[in-house]
Chains A and B, each alone.
Chain A
């Protein structure tokens, strides 16, 4: 505080004019003026703090509509509320898709086409459970077509359970199940599915199903669309973020499948992700308008570089490769790609259909189409008819081997039994002989008999030892052969699971 002495005339609030009064220092009730002024000052300060607090509060909690609505806009929006139910306004430039979608709350539409997929649903839901992308930002869309099993019922049950999950992070956004039968005659088993002759029409039907699903489920608020097959066995939980980070219009990982050891352990699965080659383009020119080139068949030698074959298990998972055709097992695409009209051609588009045609069409519209050769997900291994035959043979072989082993052990056992019999016989014989021998030299000294008895006992104990050790060895070999046979069966039936574990680690 300043000393009152100096500030006197000016600090106490007297008007300047009063300086010219004759007695400026006559008595004044000085205490009163500063008091009111101090009060005013205090009020102003309080006011400033209050407005500051309100403003700060407004900015910190902009969502609290009660405060916002005080200012003008409340009236407008209240008026519009009646109309709001039927009118929607969307700005599509807000949903273009960015590299860090989870931070901008970008919504993903996850599309899964299903047909006779009941056995795979459990696996799929375990994947749904594990996605790290915020679940409430993911809308699920399923197309159930021409299913003869209980796919639909199981799906509905599981989805309802998922949505009712206690963990608030589990339930997904909007869920739609679309039913549509296309009257497909094509069987879904592995043989007919992958036979060359059936490919073109099968691919066109698949494309149709995908288009129906997408056109029914895509909304103006989706930024991304993720296509996922139901029979993916192993995939990283972070796959959505991992693919999104690349910020490409269309992106696919590498798809392999685990195999039993006798088939080499693992194998490229999805051959639909490839780069165009001169040979294939020349081939395409020779085919008629409705022909569809399909990959992985000897009939069409295209010499294209396939994403699948370029995998290096220790390669950089972020490495990108430009591709022209894409496989449909796991596609992440910006929703704007689909909005602008790119779809899965159910006709021969540049001699390709379905996902490969999709890649071609996206390229045609100058979108970036990229594959990640060293980022791998694993498709379920379904043994083919040949594989099953081979496995049956192996099983028989194994059984025969087991049988042989059993016989062998039995034989050994028998031999041993006989041996132990012989030894006891020998023992008996021995004692008899000894008895005889005792009787003969009875007249000899007592000490001798004692000695003999001692030796006798010694012999007996050693033979007993021998017996027990022999039996122990026999037991060991038995268990060993058993565990061995168990190992064999493990190898056949549980190999994929083991591989899976391996993959998770890698």
Chain B
């Protein structure tokens, strides 16, 4: 290796280390005030990454089950598509006019026709059985450790902790021009949803104005937020970390600018955080607003 080559390799290595440090540690440095009880969540960031080909790493048992069923169904369907592709390839090569100048006149084959009804039915049964299991699993929101009432607004989320009286705050996206190192453009928010790890958390989802979608891909949670209606979902977050989600039902001007950021921390840290949050987040009674909604146009400018 030439001297120049060594230098380039070292430079690349150094840059790579710096990049990793900035990526993983940036959030921690930025908020390294020792009193931040949610700091444990900064150790692991579950966010989309470049050229991603598959679901995010499963952050919850539900997402693990979804991941498994997805692979199961997709493999079956891949076999079906592959089978059709093979048949088409055979047709293309064996039954070209040049190769097969005289067409057959077959128009019926009862056995074949019954087969291509029965076999797909059997495949469907094989898909339906585990799928129904998953539907019941997703619907089982009983016996939660805690409940968070999530309310969608144009264009921010409001989180109300039912088990912590008075804890009710709003969460706005960090505008593009105010992104700090370690934050993720279009995903990071001013006040994340802080949740304990390993506990069953029930979301009660609603909306104050139009439809929104409460969508947490890494946790396998998605429900519409419907005004006048409440839907429930639940999750158990497996390990401390930062998880992201976005609004997934068109809600107007800033539909793409109300992400969800979740900081999952150990239970003790969570309890410490609720005390901190109660002290800092709720000097108000009626409108629980840390960051008051900006006027529509100003917000539009700030987020674009």
Do A and B interact? no
